[in-house]
Amino acid sequence: MAKITQKQITEQLKTLKDIKPRKEWAVLLKSQILPEQQLQATIPAQKISFLDILSSVFAPKKLVYSLAVVLFLIIGVFGFASQTVPGDLLFPVKKIAEQSQAALTGQIGIRQNVVTLNNRINDLAQVAKQGRTDNIPSAISEITADASALVKDLQNNAVGNKQTIKEIAASLKTLADVPGTDLTANQDVKNLYQTVVQSQIADLQEATLTDEQKATLSEVEELYNQAKYVEALEKILLINN
């Protein structure tokens, strides 16, 4: 072989710099070594796997189905409970629903108690109409409790809201009209009648009345003095109407 100088050798050595690994191999190796890049490389493969497609399709649906079942159960229970009356198993659920609804609509305190009393009087009317005698004591008990609460509310509010008093008066009239039930002897209900009549008399005394209305008001005052609150209330309603 021809002589070669050291300089030529060093020059030839530099040509070996062209030795390089395959690009695709180098990229693949890097992706295999570094976890994050490996993850990025494997994610597309996982996305197209059959099991992942199945789970991605059905897993969210399972959750939706479960939520739907729970939702239907809740709606069903509350729907059924809305038809119950005092003494029924699901009646407490109805009360909870009413309280929640009242809270959501801003009916709190005396307003909530007025609505509740009205609902319980309607329940009593329904029970009496359907002849469900077993439920009557529970219905009366509920009304008594609501009447007691309302009396306290009215006492705390002194004169109270005129519109609220009129609503209570209307509810008491409905109660008086329920056939087969007479709650006038019940002390809590009697107290409520008394409070309402007293408040109404005070309002009417300040109002401008016709001669006929003034005469009726005098009769109301007499009935009130005789503790005949139901009759007094009926005459008050005549004046108001």
Structure tokens at 49: 């796997």
CA angle (73, 75, 79) in 5-degree steps: 115
Cα gap 95→89, rounded to integer Å:
12
Q: Judged by CB under 8 A, does residue 1 bind other proteins?
A: yes
Among the listed ranges 20-28, 138-146, 200-208, 222-230, the one in contact with other proteins (CB under 8 A) is 20-28
What residues contact 206, with CB distance under 8 A and at least 6 apart?
none
Helices (H) and strands (E) in the chain, counts: 11, 0
Q: Judged by CB under 8 A, does residue 106 bind other proteins?
A: no
Distance of CA 106 to CAs 110, 111, 112, 146, Å? 11, 9, 9, 19
Q: Are 80 and 90 in contact (CB under 8 A)?
A: yes
Q: Are 230 and 193 in contact (CB under 8 A)?
A: yes
Q: Judged by CB under 8 A, does residue 104 bind other proteins?
A: no
Nearest approach in angstroms of CB 66 to other proteins is 38
Q: Judged by CB under 8 A, does residue 179 bind other proteins?
A: no
Q: Judged by CB under 8 A, does residue 38 bind other proteins?
A: no
Among the listed ranges 17-25, 138-146, 168-176, 213-221, the one in contact with other proteins (CB under 8 A) is 17-25
Among the listed ranges 19-27, 93-101, 106-114, 118-126, the one in contact with other proteins (CB under 8 A) is 19-27
Total residues interacting with other proteins, rule: CB under 8 A = 28
Q: Judged by CB under 8 A, does residue 73 bind other proteins?
A: no
State the residues that interact with other proteins by CB under 8 A: 1, 3-6, 9-10, 12-22, 25-26, 29-30, 32-37
